[in-house]
Every structure is written in C-alpha cells, then in structure tokens.
Amino acid sequence: MRDEQVQDVIRALQHGLPITEHPYQCVADEVGVTETDILRTIDDCLQQGIFKRFATIVRHRKLGYVANAMVVWDIPDDLVDEIGTLLAKEPSIRLCYRRPRRLPVWPYNLFTMIHGQSRDWVLQELSAIRRKHQLEFPYDVLFSKRCFRQRGALYLPEAK
C-alpha cells in the first residue's frame, strides 16, 4: 500500500470500528483497500510501535455500571507483584497496576478498578476479594464523581 493509503487506514481506525459482523471489511470498503490490507496495517503499526495497543474501549457507564471505584492499596514492596497478580485475576477487577508511592502524602503503590451498578455491590465485591485473599493491608476506596471524555488516541489529523 502507498503511504497515503496507510494514513487513510489509520485515520479511519482512530474513529473506532463499526459494530458489525465484519468491521475490518467495512473500514476497507471506506478506504478503498482490502480487509487484508487493514489487518496488515494494524499489525505493522503495532510491530513498529506506532500503536502501543489495539483494543476495545467499553463504555461501562452506558451499560449501567455507574459505581466506579479505584481501590488503592499500600502493599509491602516485596509482596506487591504477588498480590497484584492475584488481584488481576479477579473477574470483577478491570484494571490492576503498580505505581510508585509519593510519600509522605500518598502511601499507595497498587491500584485496582472495580465497576459496578451500585456502590453497595462494589463494596461487597471488595470485601469478598479481601476475605478470599486474606488482605489486611491498608487501602482506600475512591469512587468516581464524574466521567471525563474517553476516547482512543488520535494519530493523524483529518484529511483536507
């Protein structure tokens, strides 16, 4: 494919895929290339590091999951990888990652996200997870108060 066609593919992809049985074919038809060209471009962009990742963004609020809690944990450094691995396997935990502490203000080094349809459900789920893994470490639950705009990355400006 020509560079111009690759840019057209990237422009089309950055707006998201249509919800259809053959989303890549729809993009191919829009751009005027083959479905194989679309898939090859995605793979090339991932291999070259142009795209960090290619994934689905689920709008959980639109699905009724309005109770969103970031649970922050103060886990001993020698256990954080082990505990993080356990928590990441929990079906109700959607995100799990480690970050540096910012002492003395912020003692937390492990972050997990739980989405639920109610605050009560989220808190019950957290309690069950803590019991299951016998987690007695300090933690805090931070519920979202508002949703900021969420979208994938923009790689190229719109064509003129």
Domain ranges of the chain: 3-48, 60-143
CA distance 35 to 67: 39
Instruction: Classify domain 3-48 at the CATH topology level.
Output: Arc Repressor Mutant, subunit A (1.10.10)
Given a cut of 80, whether residue 53 has pLDDT beyond it is yes
Angle between helices 23-31 and 3-13 (to 10 degrees): 130
Taking the CA atoms of 149, 29, 47 and 45 in sequence, report the sign of the dihedral they define.
negative
Assigned CATH for 60-143: 3.30.70.3460
Lowest mean pLDDT among 54-58, 89-93, 111-115: 54-58
DSSP H stretches of helix in the chain? 3-13, 23-31, 35-47, 80-88, 119-132
Tens of pLDDT, residue by residue over 116-138, are: 999 999 999 999 999 999 999 99
pLDDT for res 64: 82
Q: With bands split at pLDDT 50, 70 and 90, how would you rate the model's confidence at 151?
A: low
pLDDT for res 65: 86
> Does 3-48 match 60-143 in CATH topology?
no
Report the DSSP beta bridge partners of residue 140: 72
Taking the CA atoms of 148, 151, 156 and 160 in sequence, report the sign of the dihedral they define.
negative
Give 34: exposed, middle or buried? Use CB within 10 Å, 0-12, 13-18, 19+. middle
Element spanning 141, H or E: strand 139-143
pLDDT for res 160: 67
Three-class secondary structure of residue 80 per DSSP? helix
